């Protein structure tokens, strides 16, 4: 084989891959006829909603399917070796060696009773025959390579002693320990902060370039695909329906499903307008599909789509499974990227706030020793000022651990505040006045980040929605409450007869709708939304955001929207407060904070967000330019002196290291805590 032929050869080839799961009634087919190829040094992104079969495809390639599932057709070749024909003893040497895998949730993939060093050492012993000092040195080198500080000391730490980003880095180190030719990354950045996500993606791109690995990237995040992929494959209901180069896919998606995914993305240009949310959901696999599988949700479907299964069509070097492109060699219309729209409020609010917090503080004691004496304090929230108005949304953004959720819990008195003042409708709220707190909790409700954990698994949905009404003495008699529950279910897009189902019988998006309905059951005026769209598909996210905007227009609800998803902030927020280590460092109208950020931390957050509009127009080299994100946040147990952000700030000077900056007013309610801004205003910079 010539050098040019060897360079163009595919490392991984998958043809006609089909997976069948045995069931009590009938077999299900979550993956059917999937074909893809990846060259060395190339990233192939497998994109689609939850339930489309992405992870099942990856598990089939690595032969890690659950017991009830089996590969029923197709072939998988790695470097010319047929993996499906190998005995399991041989396959065990390939997994962890030639094939590395990063699982979706590192917290459940790492062994909680083994140290990080011991877990990486297992891979080194099995696949590289390294033991003792040699294995220890290589483990330390791997941890340093993935950017874990003080690697020598962290070898003997357990997974629970690592942050979320560090656990993901440890998982990457473990996957790389066997020097893999192919790396399978299953949702490697789901639910991570934008800064940690940027670090993980930069790390993967750097290691891939250094080692020449092929990468199969599984995700539902279009921004991650735009940042990382060379080629894209779109999966729907177990079928591959579109493939092509990354640039072509983002410039002009072919399949109506791809076009709908792009249309469902929130941003400032669509603010004040309903998002183009996909109706329904991904169909279940235990059925006989007739016609196009996407037809029930497709706005361009016609009669033939209902009866005939579409074939694979070639369009200018790309592939698409759709009747619209039969005998078509014309290039599709390119997507038009819109600019920033003017900010428009969904509700004309009064000037007086519904809820206001001044100098809010929540400090947790750190107790040590046999007598559990207080040895220090974690200043989770340290002097926060917030103002919530009717019909308006205040977004509270920042990295995990900065205190966002604690602020929300303190507002509802679920976590007792240490200090500060709160008012509701202008009247002071006393922390120990139970009657006042009870009245406030009827008017202020919370939608929690994990709806499954916040819904009682032993109660049916109807009882869950009635529980708050009964507890707070609202909603009338039993018959009236049941009628209200039926209306609420219909309002959030569910059927009244679903009231008899239990939480486990719903999808993630449906459970989040139920959590919203529970909050609405007592007719609140303020809703604290804690990461309500975290880890949801873009289609389900669009449905929820549309619902929340409709409810805000109808009822004049005030939202405190806690999130790290800045695309959602651009779409939803009227004002933005940026939080870092318990303090708000920048606050103001959303358009000003997001388009002209004043604080270096805000600029770092915005720079870390993968942007699909820029990626569609730039070259691959420019698209993968390293983001300037340094280190992880310090511990709130021992925050740095002066400005808390100075250890991560390239602009910090001696003043930043010793003096915490005062709040500076810029214009139109835009404030910032930064010494650099002070010097600029004084003309010293």
Tell me: pLDDT of 87 over 60. yes
Please tell me the predicted confidence (pLDDT) of residue 626: 43
The pLDDT-based confidence of 9 (bands split at 50, 70, 90) is: confident
Choose the weakest-confidence range: 245-249, 266-270, 626-630. 626-630
Do 266 and 572 contact (CB within 8 A), yes or no?
A: yes
For the residues 365-377, what does the mean pLDDT come to? 84
Query: Residue 513: what pLDDT?
Result: 87
Query: Considering the domain boundaries, does residue 296 fall inside one?
Result: no
326-335, 371-380, 577-586 — which is least confidently predicted?
A: 326-335
Give Cα 110 to chain centroid, integer Å.
20
Interval 26-51 mean pLDDT: 93
Q: What's the pLDDT at 535?
A: 67
- The pLDDT of residue 396 is 97
Structural domain includes residue 185: no
Q: Name the band, by pLDDT with cuts 50, 70 and 90, for residue 504.
A: confident
- Which pLDDT does position 628 carry in this prediction? 53
Cβ proximity of 321 and 312 under 8 Å: yes
Kindly report the CATH number assigned to the domain that includes residue 448.
3.40.50.300
Residue 607 lies in a domain: no
pLDDT range class, residue 534, cuts 50, 70, 90: confident
More confidently predicted of 493 and 314: 314
Q: Is residue 198 part of a domain?
A: no
| pLDDT for the residue numbered 261 | 93
Distance from C-alpha of 260 to C-alpha of 278, rounded to nearest angstrom: 7
Say whether pLDDT at 636 is over 60.
yes
**Tokens matching residue 352:** 């007086």
pLDDT, tens digit (0-9, with 9 covering 90-100), for 421-430: 999 888 888 7
Strand intervals (E) in 160-227: 182-186, 214-219
Q: Which of 347-351, 406-410, 643-647, 655-659 has the lowest mean pLDDT?
A: 347-351
Nearest to 534 by CA among 170, 44, 189: 189
Give a yes or no: residue 522 inside a domain.
Answer: yes
HSE (side-chain half, CA atoms, 13 Å) at 667: 5
Give 486-546 as a 3 state SS string. HHHHHHCCCCHHHHHCCHHHCCHHHHHHHHHHHHHCCCCCEEEEECCCCCCCHHHHHHHHH
* 538 pLDDT more than 90: no
Mean pLDDT of the chain: 87
Residue in 631, 584, 628 with CA at minimum distance from that of residue 606: 628
Q: What confidence tens digit (pLDDT) does each residue in 321-353 have?
A: 999 998 765 555 555 544 333 333 434 444 578
**pLDDT at residue 599 above 60?**
yes
325 within domain boundaries = no
605-614 confidence digits (pLDDT tens): 998 888 786 4
| pLDDT-above-70 percentage for the chain | 91
What is the full DSSP assignment across 309-345?
A: ---EEEETTEEEE-GGGTT--SPPPPPPPP-PPPP--
Are the CB atoms for 360 and 420 separated by under 8 Å?
Answer: yes
How crowded is residue 535: how many other Cβ atoms within 10 Å of its Cβ? 18
227 lies in a domain? no
**Average pLDDT rounded to a whole number, residues 543-552:** 91
Question: Residue 504 falls within a domain, yes or no?
Answer: yes
Query: Three-state SS string across 268-281, please?
Result: HHHCCCCCCCCCCC
Instruction: Please tell me which of 1-5, 271-275, 525-529, 537-541 the model is most confident about, judged by mean pLDDT.
Output: 525-529
% of the chain at pLDDT higher than 90: 60
Residue 476 above 90 pLDDT?
no
Average pLDDT over residues 301-305: 95
- Domain count for the chain, please give it: 1
Per-residue pLDDT at 24 exceeds 90: no
pLDDT at 623 over 60: no
- Rounded CA gap, 380 and 186, in Å? 32
pTM metric for this prediction: 0.85
Tokens 């930069």 label which residue? 202
Q: What pLDDT does residue 198 have?
A: 85
User: E strands, 79-226, where?
Assistant: 81-82, 99-102, 182-186, 214-219
- Choice between 574 and 627, residue whose per-residue pLDDT is larger: 574
If you average pLDDT over residues 490-513, what whole number do you get? 87
Query: Tell me: the pLDDT tens digits for 391-410?
Result: 999 999 998 888 999 999 99
On the question of pLDDT at 625 being above 70, the answer is: no
DSSP 351-405: SS-SEEEEEEEEEEEEEETTTTEEEEEEEEEEEEEEEE-TT-EEEEE--TTSSHH
pLDDT band at 3 (very low <50, low <70, confident <90, very high): very low
Within 13 Å of residue 540, how many CA atoms lie on the same side as its CB? Answer: 21
pLDDT of residue 23: 72
State residue 472's pLDDT score: 87
Residue 369 structural domain = 361-573
Place of tokens 């917290």: 107
- State the CB neighbour count (10 A cutoff) for residue 665: 12
């Amino acid at each position: 084989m010539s050098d040019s032929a060897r360079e163009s050869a595919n490392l991984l080839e998958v043809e006609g891959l089909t997976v069948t799961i045995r069931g009590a009634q009938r077999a299900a087919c979550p993956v059917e006829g999937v074909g893809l190829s990846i060259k060395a040094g190339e990233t192939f992104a497998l994109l689609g909603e939850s339930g489309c079969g992405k992870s099942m495809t990856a598990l089939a390639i690595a032969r890690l399917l659950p017991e009830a599932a089996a590969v029923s057709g197709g072939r998988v070749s790695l470097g010319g070796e047929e993996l499906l024909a190998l005995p399991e003893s041989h396959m065990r040497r390939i997994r962890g060696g030639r094939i590395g895998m990063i699982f979706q949730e590192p917290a459940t993939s790492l062994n909680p009773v083994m140290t990080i060093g011991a877990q990486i050492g297992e891979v080194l012993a099995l696949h590289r025959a390294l033991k003792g000092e040699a294995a220890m040195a290589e483990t330390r080198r791997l941890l340093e390579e993935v950017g874990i500080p003080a690697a020598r000391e962290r070898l003997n730490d357990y997974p629970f002693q690592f942050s979320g980003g560090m656990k993901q880095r440890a998982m990457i180190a473990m996957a790389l320990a066997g020097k893999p030719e192919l790396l399978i990354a299953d949702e490697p950045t789901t639910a991570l902060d934008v800064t940690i996500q940027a670090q993980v993606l930069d790390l993967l791109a750097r290691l891939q370039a250094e080692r020449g690995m092929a990468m199969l990237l599984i995700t539902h995040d279009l921004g991650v695909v735009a940042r990382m992929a060379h080629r894209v494959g779109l999966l729907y209901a177990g079928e591959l329906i579109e493939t092509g180069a990354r640039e072509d896919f983002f410039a002009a998606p072919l399949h109506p499903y791809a076009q709908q995914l792009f249309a469902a993305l929130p941003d400032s240009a669509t603010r004040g307008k309903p998002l183009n949310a996909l109706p329904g959901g991904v169909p279940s696999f235990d059925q006989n599909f007739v016609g196009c599988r996407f037809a029930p949700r497709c706005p361009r479907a016609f009669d033939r789509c209902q009866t005939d299964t579409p074939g694979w069509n070639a369009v200018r070097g790309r592939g698409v499974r759709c009747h619209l492109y039969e005998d078509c060699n014309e290039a599709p219309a390119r997507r038009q990227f819109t600019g920033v729209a003017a900010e428009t409020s969904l509700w004309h609010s009064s000037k007086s706030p519904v809820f206001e917090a001044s100098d809010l503080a929540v400090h947790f004691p750190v107790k040590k020793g046999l007598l559990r004496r207080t040895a220090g304090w974690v200043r989770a929230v340290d002097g926060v000022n917030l103002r919530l108005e009717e019909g308006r949304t205040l977004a509270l953004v920042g990295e995990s651990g900065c205190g966002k959720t604690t602020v929300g819990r303190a507002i509802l008195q679920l976590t007792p505040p240490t200090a500060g003042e709160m008012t509701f409708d202008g009247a002071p709220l006393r922390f120990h006045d139970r009657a006042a707190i009870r009245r406030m909790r009827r008017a202020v409700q919370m939608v929690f980040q994990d709806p499954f954990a916040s819904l009682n698994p032993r109660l049916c949905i109807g009882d869950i929605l009635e529980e708050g009404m009964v507890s707070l003495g609202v909603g009338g008699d039993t018959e009236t409450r049941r009628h209200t529950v039926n209306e609420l279910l219909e309002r959030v897009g569910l059927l009244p007869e679903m009231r008899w189902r239990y939480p486990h019988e719903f999808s993630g998006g449906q459970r989040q709708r139920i959590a919203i309905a529970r909050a609405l059951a007592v007719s609140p005026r303020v809703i604290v939304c804690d990461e309500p769209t975290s880890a949801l598909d873009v289609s389900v996210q669009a449905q929820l955001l549309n619902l929340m905007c409709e409810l805000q227009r109808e009822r004049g609800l005030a939202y405190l929207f806690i999130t790290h998803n800045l695309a959602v902030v651009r779409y939803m927020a009227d004002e933005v407060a940026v939080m870092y280590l318990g303090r708000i460092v920048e606050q103001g109208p959303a358009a000003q904070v997001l388009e002209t950020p004043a604080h270096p931390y805000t600029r770092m957050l915005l720079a870390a967000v993968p942007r699909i509009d820029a990626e569609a127009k730039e070259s691959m080299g420019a698209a993968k330019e390293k983001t300037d994100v340094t280190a992880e946040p310090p511990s709130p147990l021992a925050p740095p002196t002066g400005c808390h952000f100075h250890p991560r700030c390239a602009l910090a000077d001696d003043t930043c290291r010793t003096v915490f900056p005062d709040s500076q007013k810029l214009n139109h309610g835009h404030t910032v805590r930064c010494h650099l801004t002070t010097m600029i205003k004084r003309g010293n910079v």
